[in-house]
Structures are given as structure tokens and as C-alpha cells.
Chain A
């Protein structure tokens, strides 16, 4: 993608005014998407993203300049602009490049760019048809197929010169069930760091469509969820969004570095109930949030965030590492060259525990069983989080009574972690897109079934 001599020249220019670290991130990415609505293929879109950015550090301050012009002159221009914003740093000497190729191409069996769009369309049709078969109340089905092949190159003044290829494929279905005066929706969105072989081993398009449709129909016939404080059992898979929001974001260097997070300065302390162990890792082959190297060229890691309730690690990017005086954890990520990287989650989950799933519900009394969670958000400064329950059931006297809709869960991260009193055995992960300062990146969330002693449930 880039000649080493040009890379050296650009980096040297970038640190010429006193910067003590410089980095080039170059990207060429092909996206392919297919959208089916109302039983018709509506759009088939290919796109090519192409550009590069130059980043310079001076101490704990950073400058980032990016462009579409990846010619030598375009990159030099970025370097000059970046250098002009740095004044009076201590400078640095370029370490000779130790070039390596991070990609393990054997993991991708069918590169999406080699697969005919007509074959992708077949998968979309299968999901659509399956969703429509579920019920006559299904009035609308949207199916979205997405794949991308992203080639990146990262070079820096510390001798990194690495290329990586990231390949991802995802199929999303959303269904609307309607009674005429009311609409309810359901969705399912599995994906992986895989090519088209995802449909041989991991994703069954018919199941995706059916899952979305069943959820919509179930919710259409559900009364609204009562509001109140109650025990909540959260199912495995996407239920892991609770950890992602309640705790994950607050363990990112972005929040921790300036003491802004409620978990700042709490390494070694009990921050969660003893039954909670939480992991963030980027190394499992083919997982949605996995990377060979992060977007700063650091190899990804398997990181224990919390062990038996005790805070062990933060997720740290290079700049965050400087600000915290700690080593990067391979957590520097960005949506594209148009964003400076920052600390982000990869595949983040609560590890399996020892509790029995049936017992958890049987002994909870009256409460909420959140079978399928939606998205959420958090304010790391206060720890206040919220998320939506896409498919919930009211539990009465330890028995699942009936579905309820419109529920949301709110709380403060540090409090909810301490209130987890059961962690089940069956870990499942699910795919999401996580938005933050460096854009939207693919992340896995996950957990076994867990129980929170009490939470505020929003409803009507």
C-alpha cells in the first residue's frame, strides 16, 4: 500500500517540529451492501473508502490530520500540517521498520469481493421469506446484508510497519408486526469476521428472519411493562450489553485517563460482586470484534478486566497509555482513517459462572426476565446507563407470566455490578456496533444469564 521510503519521509516530516511520536494510518476498504424491503431488492451498493491520516504526539497531546489524497505529496501535506500544530516538544529518532504482515489469510475462506452479488441476494431472500412465513401480522420485513474488506497499513516512528486485512460479513433482519393501529418491531443481526463462508457454519438466514418476526409478533400481543424497582434476570447473548454500557465504557482509557470515570484509580479494588469476572479480548479467530493488530499497529490481547469482582485492567490505547503511564492493551480502534483512534472495546463479556439458570428465575419472586436486550448508552462521568429491553417477560412468583413491551433498564454502573447475585454457565456472544469518539466499530457483547437483585425498570 505504501512504500517504506515514503513512510519514513512522512514520519520524519511529522516529527520535525518536536513531536515525539508519529504514525501513518492508511486504509483502502470495499463495502458491499444489499437492502431488501417489501419483498424486493431495493438497493445494491458498492463503495470504496480510501484515505490516510497522520498523527503526531507531543507528550500527552495529539494532532491528527487526514485526507483522501494518499500520494506522497498528499501525505507530506498532512505531515506538514500536523507538524505545524506541534511546538517545542522533545522530538524523536525514527526506529528502523520491522515490517510484518498481521493478517492470517487462511481464516477467510470465501473473500466477499470474490463472491457474486447474486449469491448474496439469495441469502437476503431466504431471510425475508422466512420472516414473512411466521405470521400474517408481519407487515414489513427489512433485510440488510453487509460485507467489507478493509486493508490497512500502520507505520510509526517506533519501527512498526504492518499491514492487516479485516473481513466482516453480517446479515440483519428487522420485522414489523402490526394490528393496524399499533406497530411492534423485532430484529436479529448476526455477523462475524468471516467471508461468505459465514453462511456455511454460523449464520442461517432463515433463522435470522424467523427470530426477528417472532419477536415482533410476541411484542405486538404484549401489554406495556409496569414501571418500578424489581429483580431482573438478563438472558445470555446480547444481554451482555448491560456490562458494555454499565461498565465497559467506563473502563476505557478515554474516560479513565483524566480521572473522569467512576472506576478511575480503583485497580485492585472490589468493584463488582464476587461472582463477576469480565473479559475484553481481540484474539479469538473470526469473532466480530477481533483484530490481528489494533488500529495503532499493536497486537491485540486477551484482557481480564474484572476477576472475581476485583478490577484488574483498563482498556488502553497509545495516547491513553501516555496519559495514564500504562502500557497499551491493543485496544486502539477507529471507524476509518477519518477518525483518530482511541481506546475501545473488542469482544467484551462476563465469563461463565456456576449458577443454575432455572433456579435463578424460580427464586426471583416477582420481577422482569429480559430475554432480548436492545442498545443503550452511558455517561461515564456519572456512571448512569440505560438500555432497552426488546423482548421482556414479567415474572410472577418465580414463574414466567407473560411478555411485556416498552421496558427499559436504568442504573449506575458501579451499583448494578455489586448487585449481580447470580451468573449462569452458558456464555453466548452477540454482535453490535459501538459508537464513541473514534466512530462506530464492530464489537461483541456477551454473558451467561445473570440476575440483578434490583434495578429500576422504566415502563408505563
Chain B
């Protein structure tokens, strides 16, 4: 069944079944992924999928149900599911279906070649990435995966008030993971690129980056335990910010899961820190004119020169606190309920590049990899203790690889202790971005 036709029928059936209001959130996507190894295409995947969620108000309460089957049986199952869900829900603040705004921001339309590029061109790019990585340095032993993916996605938000919004996007993601060997020592490194157009992909650059990164981690050793000045390189800082981004959610604050509850207007970070949430960022992975509740997107500094200006809100959390939504209602997937999440979320870059941050630091560590973030970091307490890799810095210069250490601290403290934010803003294939950051002194466990 055609999707819009199915949604017409579903909304009509919801009305007939007595739902006061109803909303359909539908995510459609198609993707292509290929991976080269040892000069051959080892894996090749093509997908097209969609999923749909119905939420609706039944006897004053909100219920949810979702499906990937689009037949008459699915319509009945969705409406039954919503009613059962609503009848058991007892949230204090009731959700509502939002009729919609008068106006939405107009996003710049970008022409993309992603839909038209042939499979063969993408396979050739995979092979070229692997070749570039292997040829970049004689110590590169293997490339575990040189892959190119393209993805197109479409989100439809429609409701019983007649709101009908669509957001579309496509992107190309290329990556290589290289293993370098030198005697007994092994080092791994990744090269990554994320583009709005396929012709922006430079296989040579990605292969070379993976190779250089892998080689740079060879012959690493641990360091004695103690306190070290630490710079998180942009990609590592992105991982750290992504892990703790939940502390900026008003929903988490209201649930006592964030220590930022009620601290709007206070200085919570160093002067150098400005943290942006920008859903209108051209080319951003989370760029959209509307959020998951149909509120218009808006750009804001969550932290402005160290001061917490606002938490991120949906209509529900904003109502509870007597403020306006910030347009951060979000669904993790079509099956997920509406929650609060950042959009394109990043530290505003500063003046100095990584090299200058390193020479300013003089002595310390540059951390390039953080492992086990889902386990070694606690988004509720802010504590982290993470297996890390990077480089030792002496006299303002990088002098050798460091591995088998943990870097431990507390994210709330890190925000306060940041000494400088670099100029090298990076979004490593995600909507969370960061430049390199001089995080001050942290605890390191090693040998």
C-alpha cells in the first residue's frame, strides 16, 4: 500500500475508533553499503525499510504502537495497541498532539548526486580506499574494512489536525580501519569521511588517514599512574560529549538524572566554552525544519561563554517547567516514544589549532581514542574512567604513542576545567561535533 494512502486510512480509522487526536510518525530509508578487503568486495548490502508509529490520545491519555506491516490487520493492531497503551499509562504531565506552527524555517535545498551514483562507482571507491591505506606506509599490515555507504532517509509527520510535514536527507559515509604492525607491536587507526555528495568523497585521503593513524599508534607504551594535563583530540572529545549529552536534557533534569536541574543562568563551565544546538546547520546530520512533535526548529547556545542558558526541551518538559519548547523533541527510532535530544550539537570552535594547543600545554597527553564509553562512563553521575590511547607530549611536542592507560574524571568537572577550545571542529559521521579541547588535569592509570 502507498504510504500516504495507508496513513490516510489509519488516521481515519483512529478517528472512527474514538481517539481524540492522533499522530503518525513514519521513517523511510534506503541504504547501500559495501566493504572491501584484500582487493575484493567482501560484503555488499542493500536495504529499503520503513516503519511507522501511531500515537494518539484515548480517554485523556497518550498511547503508542508501531508497525512495519502495512495492511488492514496492521491498522486494527495499531489502534488496539494505542488504546491498551493509553489505558495503562499514568504519566503526570500528559502529552498532547501538537496542531502545528504557522511557519517553519526554510532550509536551503542542496542538490545531491547520491541517488544517481552507480553501485560500481561506490565499489571502486571502496577498493581505492583500501589500496590507498595499504600503499600509504609499508607498516600497514591489513585494512579490516574499507567501506562506502550511502543512505537516504525520509521522515513524515502527519496528524489528525491536518499537519503534514516531510523531511528528507541523504549522505555518503566512507571509512577505513587499518592495522599497522611493527615487530610485536600492533596499532589500529581509522579514516572517516561523511559527505552530502558522493563526488566530495576522496578515497585517497580516507585511506591515508587510516594508515597514518594506525602507524602513529605503533610501539605505544603505558605511562606511570598520576595526574596529567590532557587534550582530547576533536574525535575523542566528540565521543565524550556524545556520551554525556543527556545531562542537558530537561527531561533527564526533571527525572533527577542530571545534576544541571534548576541551574539555568549559572556558570557551569569555563569561559572558553560555548555549546551550540543548531538544527538549521547546513549539511548537519540532524538538520530539520521541525522536531518530532512538529515544533519549529531553532538554534540556541545551551552554554554561552560558560553560562547555562537553557536545557533542551520538548513541549511536554517545557510545559512542566513553564517555559517554551526549544524544539528538541526527538525519537531515537520510529518505535521510540518522544523524548528530548540535541540536534546538531557542538562546542563552538576557538582560535587555536591542535598544534598550538599542544605547544601551549607543554607537557601532558593527547587522547585520540576512548573505548568502552557505554560501560566506563556514567551519564548520571558524570564519572568516567576510560581505556584510552593517544600520544605523550613533552616540550610542546608529540613524542610517542601511549596505550593501556585509563583516563578518569567527571564530565561536570571537565566542563569547568577546560582551558582552551581548539579551532578544528569535526563532526565524525555524527550530529555531535567538537574541536580538540584542552581539558586541564585528569587522573591517569597506567603502569
Contacts and interface: CB of A to CB of B under 8 A. Distances in A.
Given A229-B447, A374-B375, A66 B385 contact: no
Contacts of A135: none
Contacts of B50: 68
A258 B143 CA distance: 10
Interface in A319-351: 338, 340
A266 interface: no
B188 A382 contact: yes
B404 A376 contact: no
Nearest to A37: B255
A227 B225 contact: yes
Contacts of B81: 46
A158 interface: no
Contacts of A381: 144, 179, 186, 188
Nearest to B30: A67
Contacts of B77: 46, 48
B116 interface: no
B48 interface: yes
A192 B4 CA distance: 39
B324 interface: no
B47 A176 contact: no
Interface in B393-447: 403-409, 443-447
A388 interface: yes
Nearest to A229: B447
Interface stretch (B84-92, B96-104, B156-164, B230-238): B84-92
Nearest to A70: B69
A412 interface: yes
Interface string A145-186: 000000000000000000000000000000010100111110
Given A47-B67, A140-B256, A338-B49, A377 B89 contact: no
Interface string B366-406: 00000110111010111101110000000000000001111
A108 interface: no
A379 B335 contact: no
Contacts of A260: 142, 144, 179
Interface stretch (A5-13, A99-107, A292-300, A400-408): A400-408
A459 B443 contact: yes
B90 A227 contact: no
A196 interface: no
Given A40-B91, A384-B404, A45 B445 contact: no
Interface in A114-139: 117-118, 121, 139
Contacts of A35: 337
B53 to A, nearest CB: 8
Contact of A227 (B45, B51, B91, B406): B406
Interface string B314-353: 0000000000000000000001010000000000000000
Nearest to B185: A382
Contact of B222 (A31, A82, A379, A456): A456
Contact of B91 (A42, A82, A183, A386): A42
A308 to B, nearest CB: 26
B43 to A, nearest CB: 6
Interface string A1-44: 00000000000000000000000000010010011011011111
Contact of B43 (A53, A64, A385): A64
Contact of A408 (B40, B41, B387): B387
B133 to A, nearest CB: 14
B107 interface: no
Contacts of A375: 372, 374-375
Contact of A43 (B46, B49, B89, B257): B89
B364 interface: no
Contact of A44 (B88, B179, B444): B88
A265 to B, nearest CB: 14
A257 to B, nearest CB: 10
A51 interface: yes
A48 B88 contact: no
B372 A47 contact: no
Contacts of B68: 48-51, 68
B374 A43 contact: no
Interface stretch (B6-14, B58-66, B205-213, B291-299): B58-66
Contact of A388 (B84, B257, B375): B375
A81 interface: yes
Given A386-B375, A387-B375, A410-B387, A61 B144 contact: no
Given A45-B337, A410-B404, A456-B404, A139 B256 contact: yes
Interface residues of A, number: 78
Nearest to B337: A43
A457 B51 CA distance: 44
A460 interface: yes
B37 interface: yes
B78 to A, nearest CB: 9
A45 B187 CA distance: 44
A41 B49 contact: no
A44 B83 CA distance: 10
B91 A408 contact: no
A228 interface: yes
Given A46-B66, A185-B381, A178 B186 contact: no
Contact of A68 (B49, B63, B376, B403): B49
Nearest to B69: A50
B142 A258 contact: yes
Given A42-B91, A45-B66, A227 B47 contact: no
Interface in A41-83: 41-51, 53, 60-69, 81-82
A91 interface: no
B386 A41 contact: no
A458 interface: yes
Contacts of A379: 188, 371
B406 A185 contact: no
B38 interface: yes
Nearest to A383: B186
Contacts of B90: 40-42
A377 B377 CA distance: 12
A259 interface: yes
Contacts of A82: 46
Nearest to B188: A381
A227 B89 CA distance: 45
B45 A64 contact: yes
Interface in B250-287: 255-257, 259
A362 interface: no
B376 A258 contact: no
B42 interface: yes
B375 A456 contact: no
A38 B406 contact: no
Contacts of B74: 48
Interface in A191-243: 224-225, 227-229
Given A44-B85, A46-B81, A228-B445, A258 B69 contact: no
Interface string B153-188: 000000000000000000000000001000000111
A398 interface: no
Most chain B C-beta atoms within 10 Å of own C-beta, residue among A34, A40, A460: A460
Nearest to A31: B335
Nearest to B66: A47
Given A45-B66, A140-B255, A405-B383, 11 more contacts: A44-B63, A49-B68, A64-B46, A67-B49, A182-B381, A377-B375, A384-B387, A410-B406, A412-B404, A459-B408, A459-B445
14 contacts: A44-B64, A61-B43, A64-B44, A68-B49, A117-B88, A140-B257, A260-B142, A375-B372, A386-B372, A386-B387, A388-B375, A407-B385, A456-B405, A458-B408
Interface of A: 28, 31, 34-35, 37-38, 40-51, 53, 60-69, 81-82, 85, 117-118, 121, 139-140, 176, 178, 181-185, 224-225, 227-229, 258-260, 338, 340, 374-377, 379, 381-382, 384-388, 405-408, 410-412, 456-460
10 closest pairs, A vs B, by CB? A458-B406, A227-B445, A386-B387, A375-B375, A44-B85, A386-B372, A408-B385, A458-B445, A460-B443, A388-B375
